[in-house]
Each structure stands twice: as C-alpha cells, then as structure tokens.
Amino acid sequence: MKRILLQCTLLLFALQQSFSQAVTTDSYFPNGDKEITLIFDLKQAKDVRVAGLLGKTSDVFLWSGAGTADNAFEFQPTGQTNFGVPFEMGRMTSLGNDRWSIKLKPRDYFKVPVGRTIKKLGLLLKSGDGKAQTEDFILDLFDDKLVYKVIEPDLNKIFEANETIRVKIKTSKIVDSIILNGQGFLNTDSASIISPAGSPFVTLTIISGNEFIKEPIKFTIKPQNTVLNLPPNIKDGINYINDNTVTFSFFAPKKSFVYLIGEFNDWQIDPKYLMNQTPDGERYWLTINNLEKGKEYAFQYLIDGKTAVGDPFCEKILDPKFDSEILSSTYPDLKLYPSKNTYGGTVSVLQTGQTPYNWKVKDFKRPAKEKLVIYELLVRDFINSRKYREVADSISYFKRLGINALELMPINEFTANNSWGYNPTYYTAPDKAYGTKDDLKYLIDKCHENGIAIILDVVFNHADYEFPYTKAYWGGSQPAADSPFQNPTAPHLYSVFFDFNHESTATQNYFDRVLEFWLKEYKVDGYRFDLSKGFTQRKSLTDSQMSAYDENRIKALKHFYDKIRAFDKDSYLILEHFAENAEEIELANYGFMLWGNQNGAARNNVKGTNNSFSGLNYKFKGWNEPNLVGYIESHDEERIVYDALNNGRNEVKNLATVLERSKAVAALFFAYPGPKMLWQFGEFGYDVNIDFNGRTGIKPQKWEYLKDENRLKLFKVYAELIKLKTTQAAFTSKEFNESTGDVVKQVALNHSSMNVRIVANLSINSETANVNFESTGKWYDYFTGQEINVNEATPRINLAAGEFHIFTNVKLPTPEANLVPWKGDFTITANEISSNNSKFQIYPNPTSDKITLKLNGEKTKISIEDIWGKTLFQTETKEIEPSIDLSGYSSGMYFIRTIQKGKARTTKIFKN
C-alpha cells in the first residue's frame, strides 16, 4: 500500500465534543516543542463571566500554564503573577467576531526544562483587569507517537442503520496502512462504509512502521424505539418499585432516542437499555431489575447517542471535579466518581432499600406568619465546619436570640462547593458540601423540636450548565431555541447563568414537583423565591421596564401558589420581587409574603442621615394584610455597622455610638406589624464589608464579637425585641400609626391586650418631641421597668441622640439591667401647665371648619400640631378672640398649643 502523509487541525477525538469549539489550533497534533497558534472562539465559552469579554476588540489577555503531568498550570510564563492587571506577554490578537489568537512555542513560552514532555496546556482568556474571563480550558499536546483524527464524518451526527458513511482519517505520521472494519484505504485518506446496524462501533487499525493502533470508533446509529405507554403511577425520575427494581422516566420531548447507561451495564450502549418511548414522543422510560439492595449505582441518560445528563429529579449526584474537595468528616464514605464513565459530567445516584429517616417531629406547628422572625443563614459562613449537623448544634444560640424560623440560602446542588448557592444544577439533591441528606433532615428535625421553622431559598429564575435540561437542550453557547424549559437569552437584565421560561408548561410542571418534594420529603415549612421578578417573558432593558405590571408574571406566580396550597395549606411563600407596587399589592393580597428592603433607611439613620421607615408599613404601601417581610440587612446588602463606621457622620463614627444607634433602629424595625428577617450576625453588629474576599466570597464568622460587652448588649437587645415580637399580641396589631419621617421617630401600637409606644431619636443632637400616649395613667419603660404617670395624653419627652424607649401600658417583666445606657430616672414633661388666664376657651370643639380661641389680650404664640408633634400652623397675636381655619385639615385629633409669658398650655381639638 502506498505510504501517505496525513495531517490534522483540531484536538483528539475524545475532546472534540466538549472542547474543540471554544479552542482550536492551527496544527492537527499540537506539540510542546513546535510553534502553534491558539485560536479562541469566545461565543463558545460557557462561563457567565465571559460576557464582559464579548464585543471587545482589545484588552484581552491569555492566562495560561503548561503541565508535564496532571497539573496543567505547573509551569507559568515569567511575569504572570497578578490576575488583576494586563499580562503583556499574553496579549491576544483580535480576529473579529469574538475570536482571538496568539502564537507561541510552549517550551520557550513556559520555560519548561528540556527532557520533560509537555502533556497539556491550561488556558483561559481574561480582561486586563481580570473582572471578565472564560472558564479554564485544558489543551492536550502530542508527543512523537502515532495518533490519528477522524475528520469526517461529524461523529456527533446521528446515522440511520445501513447508511453509507464517508470516513476521512488524518494521522500524525506517514502510515503503511489504514484499515476500517477490514476495508483498507487505497491511495487516499478516505473510504466509504455501511453504518453498522447492530453495534455502534467499527474497528480502526493503523500501522506505521513498528507503531500500531487498533481501537473502535463509535458511530451514533439511530435505533428503532419501542413505543409503550408509561406504567401506572410512574412519575418522572427514579421510581423505586422494590428492593431490586427501579423504573426510570425521563421527560425529553423532541429527542430521538435515549439510552440508560450506568454501573449496572458498565456504561455501555446496550440495546437492552434503550428506553421505551411513550406514544406522545415526550417521555422515555425503562424498568431494570436485579439491582443489589442498598447498593449505590451511578447512571446517566444518554440522549441521541451524544449528550449524557443526570436525572433532573435525583436526590444525589457525583461530580468529577469537585467531589474530591469534600472532606470525609463532612460526607463519610462518599461514593467515588465512576472511572468507566467516558461521557463525563455529573452523574446521578440511585439506591434501593434505603432506610427512611426517623422523624422525631411529625406534626410541627408552624409559627403564625405575623409573628415570624426569620434568620437568613448561609451554612458555609455561619459555622467553620460548614456542616448541616453543626448548624443544628447551634439551636441553643437561636433559642437565646429567640428567632422562630431559619431561612437557608440555597442548599440544593450547585456548581462547585464554595458558593452562595445561586448557581443551581440539581433541584432535589442537597449539596454534599454541607453533609448527607440525613444530616439535613436532622437539622430540620432539631429545629422543629425547638419551635423553629425551616424556609428554603430556591432559585427558579435560572440554572447553571450542569442542570440536566440545560445540557439536554444546549445550542452551542446557550440554551437552544427549541428548549422546552429555557430561553436562549434572558429577556431581562438581571439574569445570570441560563434563564427559565416560566410561561412554559414544562418549566411549571418541573418546579411544581420540586416544590412538592421538599415540603413532603424534608418537611420544610416554606420557600423564599429568589428573583421572582425574573419570571417574565417580556423584554426589558431597564429596571423600571422590568418592574412594570406584568399580568403573565403574576399568572405564573399564582400558578405555583395554587399548586402548593393544594397539598400544603399554610406553608410560607415569600417573594424577592421588588416590582411595581400595583403588582406587589395583587400578590400580597393573594397570600404571598414579599421582601421589604429597608437597608438603606437603616444605614442612613445609624450614620446620622434622616430617612423614613415607611417602607416597613404595609398600610403605607396599600396592602390589605401585613405580608411584608421587612429586613434591614440581607446577603445582598452592605452591613449597617460597617457602613456607619466607614461612612457615617463624624459624630457617630465610633463603635459604641453605632451600636447604640443600631439598638434604636432595631426597636423601630421590630415594632412594625408583619414578619421580619435578620441576616446572620447582624444581631451582634457584624461589620465585615460585603465585598471582603469578593462579594460572594467566604466571610469570617466573628463569634468572638460576643465577648465584647457592647456587642453582647446589642445581641441581648435584639433578643428582647424579638421576644416582644413573638409573644406579645400588640406587636401583631393592625391598629397602629407611625411617624418616622422626622429625626424623632415613633410607632404606636394599640391592642386589647396592651398599648405600645416606641420613640427613638436618630438625630445627632438631643431632641424634644410629643409622644401621643392617647390615654393618661400608668405607663412603663420596658428596658428599665420604670413606672411613669402620664397626666395628659401627649406629654413632651427629651431624648439624647440615639436614645429610644418602648413604653407599654401593661407592666411586663423587666429585661436584664444596663442593656441601654439610661437608668430608671426618666421624666416626662407635661405640655399643659397651670395658667392665670381663667378666660381661656376654645370653641366649637369638635369643629367642622374653624375654631375660635378666647384669650386675655396678652401676646400669645399659637401653634397647631398633629398627633406626632409636627407643627402644622403657628402664629403670634394679641387678639382676644382669634379664629383659625381648619377646613383644609383631615378629620382627626390635633393639639393646639398656646404660650404666654413662657407658660404653655396644650389642648386637644377634634376636626370632623
């Protein structure tokens, strides 16, 4: 046979599907000792951070390494040390259309010693400042051994049985012969064969001198599906029939065929594991037997012979890259990733005969939503071990604080192990980075034992690439246009990763199952829906456009609400929405609770800048029910104490002052009716910048703060406020008023059990204000226990900067002493004092339009104030019977204040 020289342009066949589209070279068989040109197509990169590189024509740099063993970044070019600055040696050349190239000789570029074979390059592209980048790419290099490349056909293509296929092979050396299924290539590098009807493999033999290759090449041959109805009572996912039998059901419309591959068939394509297709063509199912009871089996669905994905409803996965980082103390005896799986990616795990968790609490009574105090918690940063079980060991801390609900930031499987969790991949599998599923159930059970509900933060706006339905309907660089679940690109500006179409029935049905699963299998008590405003298909370019009333978005959210209520009557359903108030009113009145962000107001008031807290008032927003989950800190917001210490007015920029002002803000915060939420550690004045170690990076716990006397007092004040919120019916009253626009802020709560008045001076100066007690008699200062005799309904009170008081007209147990700096010697100054003006009269009272005062002719200052002490009118006169027009005033109670010769009198007037 004539000897021919064959060459190549891409990478090994093994890498073709997953890698070659993003990075190619100008050499079929790139070698570490020869100059090569690397070509990057950024549109094929999958990392979301690549968005910052798209459209650039400059400022793109190579960050790279070379490896002689497993570590692809073993050797790095001289000077490549600071990711945040341009690396000139790696400056890329633009080829246009988001394609970039660079020419280099690996041994020289990376200074790899002679005699050591370069086996791979680690590659990524980044912006000069390092804020945008691709994922890591690993490029295998070739030595002088004989290798080959299949140029034709495209091995991703699906072939019909007995189809004629033209095959074209390239080799790295001159060869003596190429034989394909016994057929030699004569004087050329190509030949035609008939696709194998039985096995998908054909045997390739290549001989070059003393070197010899003999191995199978896999062709994807379309099989003949068996069409059968889904058996009764089978749901999508893994259905355990008995200890030895499992039925799989996989929803995969528009796909041609699906094989089940796994450890039960040695990861081989086997006709016996071709899944049955339902008559509507939308599902594939298969029952397998002879499984060993209690044994874990890894598996995937192989779609159309090329795309392998896990089960979207599985409860455990294995990850080829990140499982090795999980400590055995966190997840004992974690099953190893199957080495025989050649398709890569995450795999699902099934296990028959599992021992059910023995729940101690089977009928947990959830706290009333109006008394909810939610503690938002990130397992990773709350406790050093990052374990579900050790969070459970902190129950005594939660009990001391008094919270009655934990909101866990996303704990279903997400990419990697170090994350906030907003990059989900599997929605019914707890992330192994925090422990086993029984560890999570133990945490939930322990919380329920102690009266604490569990709320899961769920991310239904988007998913990361390893989500099975993202991979199953992948369009090269984004979800395909025919995906039943996801949009190719998000219609709004807030999406990260890959956006769901919430008007799709497939999406709705999938998340219906997810929501039911956690409520039933894990006995969770509710959900916080992340970025629910993103459940829209309407195109928007700005936040205001996105926030505008969207009937279809409301319809999608009501769909979830109704589905959940069909099997759970009182679970908590909380939206992070922040849309137009008309939309929030409709959702709140339907029964949803919605996040209410008052972080800005809290930070400003602690810093010494006046800001209203009316955003905590559901009535101010026009809602029928107190379904507003108010918060002053969350994972998305800057810490109050950090901001005040670094950006506050000079008068408040010391820790002791900031902590005292934080108490005053907390007192107002908890006073408003409706559920409340804390972000972990806010109760002791956590002051680490949100951008420390990167916005989503690991933050230190700072438990030592509780050894600081002032921080411990803040914690104890929080605990007292939470106790009032959760035990006193007055704090759920719908009969309340606020006056929080002025620097002295007040909230009044009236209830049949007790009346409450909260007043706080958030000025940087001492202030005097009227406190509208509305009734005379005995009142009590909660934190000191002092009894106060109120002789008139609206006396005046003097407050130091940062001072606050909670007054009740029922004596409550007095908290620990010295939690606040004032003592039990508080005095209230009456507005109304005796006067020698016996002729003083006001008439008519009540009035519908004007009032007339009868005076003695002396110079008199007259002012009218509302019930919060805000001056609405003032004048000075010597008239004996001056009149004041009230026709423009709203109906209600006002106070008229007169001052003669330094003596004051205050009297109620009523406007009809």
Q: Is the pLDDT of residue 830 over 70?
A: no
Fold for the domain defined by 841-911: Immunoglobulin-like (2.60.40)
Percentage of the chain modeled with pLDDT above 90: 74
The residue among 46, 35, 27 whose CA lies nearest residue 137 is 46
The residue among 206, 141, 155 whose CA lies nearest residue 179 is 206
pLDDT of residue 5: 28
Overall size of the chain counted in residues: 912
Average pLDDT over residues 832-837: 34
Q: Is the pLDDT of residue 17 over 70?
A: no
pLDDT of residue 3: 28
Question: Angle at CA 474, nearest 5°, toward 473 and 479?
Answer: 90
Distance of alpha carbon 281 from alpha carbon 225, whole angstroms = 10
pLDDT of residue 27: 86
- Helices and strands in the chain: count of H runs, count of E runs: 15, 52
pLDDT tier for residue 145 given thresholds of 50, 70 and 90: confident
Annotated domain spans of the chain: 30-140, 237-351, 841-911
Q: Is the pLDDT of residue 846 over 90?
A: no
pLDDT tier for residue 4 given thresholds of 50, 70 and 90: very low
Average pLDDT over residues 542-569: 97
Assess whether the previous peptide bond of 271 is cis (omega < 30° from 0).
Answer: no
Cα-to-chain-centroid distance, residue 438: 23
Are the beta carbons of 731 and 673 closer than 8 angstroms? yes
pLDDT of residue 829: 66
pLDDT of residue 902: 65
Percentage of the chain modeled with pLDDT above 70: 94
Q: Which two tokens stand for residue 528?
A: 């916080």
pLDDT of residue 838: 42
Q: Is the C-alpha dihedral spanning 656, 659, 665, 671 positive or negative? A: negative
pTM: 0.79
pLDDT of residue 310: 98
For all residues of the chain together, what is the average pLDDT? 91
Helix, strand, coil percentages in the chain from 3-state DSSP, rounded to 5: 20, 30, 50
User: Comparing 237-351 with 841-911, is the CATH topology the same?
Assistant: yes
pLDDT of residue 199: 61
pLDDT of residue 216: 84
pLDDT tier for residue 764 given thresholds of 50, 70 and 90: very high
Q: Which two tokens stand for residue 126?
A: 């980044």
162-188: pLDDT as tens digits: 788 888 888 888 888 888 777 776 444
Which phi and psi angles does 675 have, rounded to 5°?
A: -65, 155
What distance separates the 2 farthest-apart alpha carbons in the chain? 131
62-91: pLDDT as tens digits: 999 999 988 999 999 999 999 999 999 999
Q: Is the pLDDT of residue 901 over 80?
A: no
H helices present in 728-789, as ranges? none
pLDDT of residue 118: 95
105-118: pLDDT as tens digits: 999 999 999 999 99
Which DSSP helix (H) or strand (E) runs through 261?
strand 258-262
Distance of alpha carbon 107 from alpha carbon 33, whole angstroms = 6
Question: Angle at CA 169, nearest 5°, toward 167 and 174?
Answer: 145
From the CA atom positions of the chain, what is the Rg in Å?
Answer: 35
Other CB atoms closer than 10 Å to residue 570's CB: what's the count?
Answer: 12
Distance of alpha carbon 906 from alpha carbon 831, whole angstroms = 6
What's 284-324 look like in SS3? Answer: EEEEECCCCCCCEEEEEEEECCCEEECCCCCCCEECCCCHH
Distance of alpha carbon 148 from alpha carbon 82, whole angstroms = 39
Distance of alpha carbon 438 from alpha carbon 388, whole angstroms = 9
According to DSSP, the residues that pair with 19 across neighbouring strands are none
Q: Is the pLDDT of residue 868 over 80?
A: no
DSSP secondary structure letter of residue 393: T
Distance of alpha carbon 792 from alpha carbon 794, whole angstroms = 6
Superfamily of the domain at 237-351:
Immunoglobulins (2.60.40.10)
451-478: pLDDT as tens digits: 999 999 999 999 999 999 999 999 988 9
Distance of alpha carbon 327 from alpha carbon 386, whole angstroms = 11
Are the beta carbons of 614 and 620 closer than 8 angstroms? yes
* Strand spans (E) along 495-607: 498-499, 526-529, 572-575, 593-597
